[in-house]
Chains A and B, each alone.
Chain A
Amino acid sequence: MTGIAAGLLLQLGLGALAVLSALALAPALRSLVGGIFGTLIAVTGFLTGLAALLGATGGLVIPIALPMDPLLLAPDRLGGLFMLIVSGVGILVSLYSMSSTRGPDASRTAWVAMPVFLVGMQLVPAATDSVSFLLAWEIMTLGSTVLLFADHARRSTVASAGIWYSAMSQLSFFFILAGFAVLATASGGTSFTDLQAIEPGSGAANVAFVLFVLGFGGKAELVPLHVWVPRVLPEAPSHVSAAMSGAMVKIGVYGALLVCVRLMPDGPAWWGIAIMLVGGASALYGILQASVSSDLKVLLAYSTTENMGLVFLGLGASMLLRGYDATAAADAALVAALLLAISHAAFKSTLFLGAGAIIHATGERNLDRLGGLGARMPVTAAAFGIASLGAAAIPITSGFVAEWMLLQSLIHGGRLDGAVVSISASVAMPLAVAVIALTAGLALLTFVKAYGIAFLARPRSAPAADAREVPPLMQLALVLGALSILALGLLPGPIAAVVATTFSTDPTGAVQAVGLGGVSLPGIGATLDPVMLVILSALVAIPVFVSIIVSAHRHPARTIDLPWGGGGSRARPRMQYTATSYAEPLVRVFDDVLKPTRDVQVTHVAESRYLVERVRVEQRVSDVIETRLYRPVLNLFQRYGIVVRHIANGSIHRYLSYSFVALLIVLIVVSL
């Protein structure tokens, strides 16, 4: 038995043990044991994925009773990379959940579902045929759905979110199933090697491509299939949202890569353009919604749509450029897309865990009621801050490296040896750069808002003022997450070099590690060495620090209640800017896209209409795509349901007459 087979088998065994222990144990022990088992599963998956990524072969054969080939789980390098991503998030989430879960989140059902979810996510990238892929996919979806419903009894929003999630994930599943069915019919086999025989330009391939993009795009939260995200991720327990956003969404990305890079590479140019369009639209729409959101978890959920949009933009650019033989730029774009996925897994799971820590400490996820948490929860603040920098793509985090590489591949993609590759590329590349730039700019605002409003200044409510730091295990998960973001950002070279092996046998022409963990793109002549950048900034900072020390020695700081208060001596915490007011200019600028509804109620003093007693302002930004696209369809179904209810009103006589008529019709048809 090979190492990979042993690793996969061990995971399945640990998963089964975890399920049994969750069923058997008393509530007090359940979280602890469940968390330990989760960590073990994730560590096993991490090692298995690492082995597969570094080129180990072998797999687990699962014979089945049905008259078909046995299922084979044997991750290739790409699968190994995604197992690594998923289990990395799994480790953080499992450590965190040991002390974060309480009440309904720690119920028996929830702890049974957790290992199922974790193992399911790891099996999808290990699958080598469409049957085991779909099976693992459904295990993953089932686990996540049950976890989501954990708190449905207390909060009605959870049930609604759960229904949206179930409907949308089954829709995704349907598209993927249909896609595999089309490919299997055309190629005559179900294993991925059989499916690779398909001619990428053929009709069946085109149909399958569209179905796959719809299916995997839905899982990867792309517009317009993202509607479940802003409902589900905020309502799920925070460790589950972290696992969903950090890991499960990546499985959607894996699916897209499987189709576009492994099964049907070299597709027609419109495939790349279609993926770029979907990705670009998702990136812009996601970050725009995130930037105006005041609910911390909704903000993070929409930002996931943005990040996945960027990943797909990179993937689409790489497909388009490969079609024009701009191989160096295409490889760089694909590495950038993979790095974006990795870095997103690191920073978004840390952000969701951080949001969970805030909820744990204050019970609030509305940014407008937070503030001043930096002094009260220093570890959470530091981890959340680093993760925010990652999400805003600021050096020296992982997000920056990935975005830099994507931009480099795009600006060098339009030309090959000085000649313009094609008209479509010369329009697509500048547009893509513009989309990334606007996205990056808005992400900057979004995460300055999220961090600044939650952690700086003064508490805006009593629970925020009474917040205490979370338990040590939760802190540990947050710190590990933050460290991984910095490590990915400081040492991009070796990581990018390994990542490039997932799709290329000789990646040194595309990506190389140089200097102190720096990355170089020899094909397009660009280099980045974050460690050197850090050293350089440390050097220029020395004189500043020396003068600060000298000045601090001579002129110590004074602390007073409030220096200016903008002219008033009694500025209260309520007078601070809130998240809503912070995003107000942006809501105005993008009024046409966001279509906010405002409701202003002015209450006058009883004695005089000239004196105002109270002004109540309510602003709601709804999801335009949901109200314009989904609502009409749902209304149609609802009307259909009302009509059908008249036909089926419960009367037994009516049903008997229906059967009689049906029988008559059948007899008539048969006799014809």
Chain B
Amino acid sequence: MNATLSAIIIALVQVVLFVFLAPLLMGVIRQVRARIEGRVGVGIWQPWRDVRKLLAKNPVRAEDSSWMLRAGPVALMVSSLLLCVLLPLVGTIPFPHIPSDLFVIVSVMLIGVVALALVGLDGGTAFGGMGSSRHMTVAALVEPTLLLAVYALSIPAGTSAISVIVETRLFSPEVIISPVSVLALVALSIAIMAETGRLPVDNPGTHLELTMLHEAMTLEASGRDLAWLEVGSWLKLAALLGLVSNLVAPWGVVTDFTLLGLAIGVVAIAVKVLVLGVLLSAGEIFLAKVRLFQVPELLAGSFALAFLAVTASYLVA
């Protein structure tokens, strides 16, 4: 089959699958946490019900807020959807002229980061500004780890196109367990935890404003604005977990387009993301949120790992 057409089909499947999967992933993460903590939990479909409820509400906006409160959530949502298109989640067949370049993907993600930070400022309250300021500080400090991890991953494949990187790992699995790759993956995972506001950087379940990062920025949003912010963030988490899972275990990903292969790819990525979600949730039970000013130390550690990964790949290999 024509490569462009199969790329379009795979992208379409990825977007639809992840829009469905992301709220489910959140539901699973929350449910697992509830069960481990000895609570009954609200069930894995609750995020879906929340989104439906939010979309059917009249948004309430502050008088002095600008168009940013309307546009920002949409920008976050679109940037997350673009992540789902560009990342090789179900298949590794890229669009012509849009190779799934990791630097481009990081920048697309940053659009969402900036949109969220501006939404936080637009409400004109102290908490929104506080969340926005902290969010951007963490984002700024995560960036070196993120790009160096990308660099380290790109070396064995000779390119920063993520689809090629995943294919290299699929066809020569010894790359995955090489020390360079393990270091890079650990660094990347820490960066992703920080970027998506998970423990130990941010506490997604907090109700105390002073400890909030992500939640503080969404305090002033309501109705569909809030729905886009929430779904956008969930999608981002799901897509990035999908990326990590395909880097660790690339099996099942579609490299040559067939319908059976597509079905397998869909099931494989769904299972991988959900399993990773369960592991994440179980792991978070044992973590407490670190102080904001200890986050840089954590990120410096992850940066050191990423730097080691890159230099090691030059000097050892």
Contact = CB atoms under 8 A, between A and B. Distances in A.
Given A414-B314, A544-B74, A575-B126, A564 B303 contact: no
Interface stretch (A151-159, A160-168, A205-213, A437-445): A437-445
Contacts of A389: 114
A271 B115 CA distance: 41
A444 B118 CA distance: 11
A555 B124 contact: no
Contact of A589 (B124, B132, B293): B293
Given A544-B81, A555-B223, A456 B125 contact: no
5 contacts: A434-B144, A441-B144, A515-B97, A526-B160, A533-B108
Contacts of A536: 82, 85, 95, 98
Interface string A556-582: 111111111110000101011100011
A514 B315 CA distance: 35
Interface in B115-149: 117-118, 121-130, 132-134, 136-137, 139-144, 146-148
Contacts of B220: 563-564
A560 B59 CA distance: 11
B307 A556 contact: no
Nearest to B292: A585
Interface in B179-221: 209, 219-220
Interface stretch (B24-32, B50-58, B237-245, B253-261): B50-58
B63 to A, nearest CB: 6
Contacts of A240: none
A407 B121 contact: no
B222 interface: yes
A427 to B, nearest CB: 6
A469 interface: no
Given A457-B64, A555-B57, A527 B132 contact: no
A560 B143 contact: no
Contacts of B67: 374
Interface in B131-173: 132-134, 136-137, 139-144, 146-148, 150-151, 154-155, 158-161
B209 A566 contact: yes
Interface in B280-317: 292-293, 296, 303, 307, 310-311, 314-315
A407 B81 contact: no
Question: Sorted from nearest, which 10 A-B pairs have the closest CB atoms?
Answer: A577-B129, A441-B143, A441-B140, A426-B314, A457-B124, A452-B121, A437-B147, A437-B144, A540-B81, A430-B310
A575 B137 CA distance: 21
The secondary-structure label for the interface of chain A is helix
B58 A445 contact: no
A562 B136 CA distance: 24
Interface stretch (A329-337, A392-400, A650-658, A664-672): A392-400
B34 interface: no
Given A400-B107, A411-B150, A438-B143, 5 more contacts: A444-B113, A448-B118, A544-B78, A562-B124, A577-B126
Contact of A566 (B125, B160, B315): B125
Interface string A383-415: 000000100111100001000100110011011
Contacts of A551: 55-56, 224
A639 interface: no
Nearest to B134: A585
A569 to B, nearest CB: 12
Interface residues of B, number: 85
Given A457-B64, A527-B97, A565-B125, A433 B148 contact: yes
A548 interface: yes
A576 B147 contact: no
B177 to A, nearest CB: 21
A556 B60 CA distance: 9
Contact of A375 (B66, B101, B139): B66
A263 B133 CA distance: 47
B103 interface: yes
Contacts of A374: 66-68
A571 B63 CA distance: 13
A274 interface: no
Interface of B: 15, 55-68, 74, 77-78, 81-82, 85, 95-99, 101, 103-104, 107-108, 110-111, 113-114, 117-118, 121-130, 132-134, 136-137, 139-144, 146-148, 150-151, 154-155, 158-161, 209, 219-220, 222-224, 228, 292-293, 296, 303, 307, 310-311, 314-315
Interface string A94-126: 000000000000000000000000000000000
Contacts of B128: 577
Contacts of A348: none
B54 to A, nearest CB: 10
A440 B139 CA distance: 10
Contacts of B137: 445, 585-586, 589
B143 A427 contact: no
A588 interface: yes
Contacts of A529: 97-98
A558 B121 contact: no
A458 B66 CA distance: 9
Contact of A582 (B123, B133, B147): B133
A392 B111 CA distance: 10
Which of under 10, 10 to 19, 20 to 34, or 35 or more describes the interface residues of A?
Answer: 35 or more
B104 A560 contact: no
A442 B117 CA distance: 14
Nearest to A589: B296
B56 A555 contact: yes
B137 to A, nearest CB: 4
A648 interface: no
Contact of A564 (B15, B56, B143, B219): B219
A533 B98 contact: yes
A581 B133 contact: yes
Contacts of B314: 414-415, 420, 426
B58 A433 contact: no
A621 to B, nearest CB: 16
A532 interface: yes
A103 B129 CA distance: 38
Interface string A516-546: 1010000001111100110011001100110
Nearest to A577: B129
Nearest to A527: B99
Contacts of A527: 97, 99, 101
Contacts of B143: 437-438, 440-441, 444
A436 interface: yes
Contact of A540 (B66, B85, B122, B133): B85
A537 B114 CA distance: 16
A547 interface: yes
B160 A408 contact: yes
Contacts of B113: 444
B307 A430 contact: yes
A30 interface: no
Contacts of A433: 147-148, 151, 310
Contacts of A466: none
B67 to A, nearest CB: 8
A563 B58 CA distance: 13
A566 B111 contact: no
B62 A563 contact: yes
Nearest to A381: B66
A136 B128 CA distance: 51
A564 B147 contact: no
Given A430-B307, A532-B95, A537 B104 contact: no
A584 B133 contact: yes
Contact of A411 (B81, B151, B228, B315): B151
Given A457-B124, A557-B58, A571-B126, A438 B140 contact: yes
B62 A562 contact: yes
A407 B103 contact: yes
Given A430-B148, A430-B310, A559-B61, A583 B124 contact: no
B110 A457 contact: no
Contact of B114 (A394, A515, A586): A394
A445 B139 contact: yes
Contacts of A514: 97
